[in-house]
Chains A and B, each alone.
Chain A
């Protein structure tokens, strides 16, 4: 069972696939948070500040999806992908922090 040159045999532990699915789960969780943020904007007493904060939250949600999508494609390209870039990891975390920050604006 020899693989062609430059192509590694598939990892029997399916590590890249599991990691890809972990990113997918995380985008789903992010979507739930974004939907809850959007729900704030359609409430009766929502002011301009709330609309602005919710708009920023939705932009952050898009940014998170973009980061995750890039990483998922990277993972799909190789059977033995390396660690993600620090910028990828930092961006995912900063999107979450940003969501929390805008949420403070919405709640207050």
Chain B
């Protein structure tokens, strides 16, 4: 938990990073920024998916629909928080000249999206209708 507070503090203290280590080649920083933006788009797509489930599956049972929407929305929020954290850690690693951080998050996210997709397929096949 203290690691999380530490990284939260780092998000908002630009001077601290700027002073640490050497400024990396601007192209690496920009590549890191684009990776961050790609994760933000993924997060926004998940949030959009949450809205879509709520709006375009009106025949689905309420509990099922809300659960699917909430899972997608929560995953989207998690994804964007993780995007900042990963951006900060990569920027730091580049300044210190150490290896870039590795993460289990992409694998976990793929599994989660796969599970949601499977549930959708089952729901459509079984025709879980109701009010």
Chain A residues packing against B (C-beta within 8 Å):
11, 13, 15-16, 18-19, 22-23, 25-26, 29-30, 32-33, 36-37, 39-40, 43, 80-87, 89-90, 92-94, 96-97, 99-101, 103-104, 106-108
Contact = CB atoms under 8 A, between A and B. Distances in A.
A90 B7 CA distance: 12
B51 A40 contact: yes
- Prevailing SS type, chain B contact patch: helix
Interface residues of B, number: 44
Interface of B: 10-14, 17, 23, 26-27, 29-34, 36-38, 40-41, 43-45, 47-48, 50-52, 54-55, 66, 69-70, 73-74, 76-77, 80-81, 83-84, 87-88, 91
A46 to B, nearest CB: 11
B60 to A, nearest CB: 12
Contacts of A101: 77
B37 A25 contact: yes
Contacts, number: 128
A86 B76 CA distance: 20
A99 B43 CA distance: 10
Contacts of A43: 55
Contacts of B14: 85-87
B59 to A, nearest CB: 15
28 contacts: A15-B27, A15-B31, A16-B30, A19-B37, A22-B33, A22-B34, A23-B37, A26-B40, A29-B41, A30-B44, A36-B55, A39-B51, A83-B26, A83-B32, A83-B91, A86-B13, A89-B88, A90-B11, A93-B40, A93-B81, A93-B84, A96-B43, A99-B47, A100-B73, A100-B74, A101-B77, A107-B51, A107-B69
The 5 closest A-B pairs by CB, nearest first: A36-B51, A96-B80, A83-B29, A100-B77, A93-B84
A100 to B, nearest CB: 4
A26 B23 contact: no
A18 B43 CA distance: 20
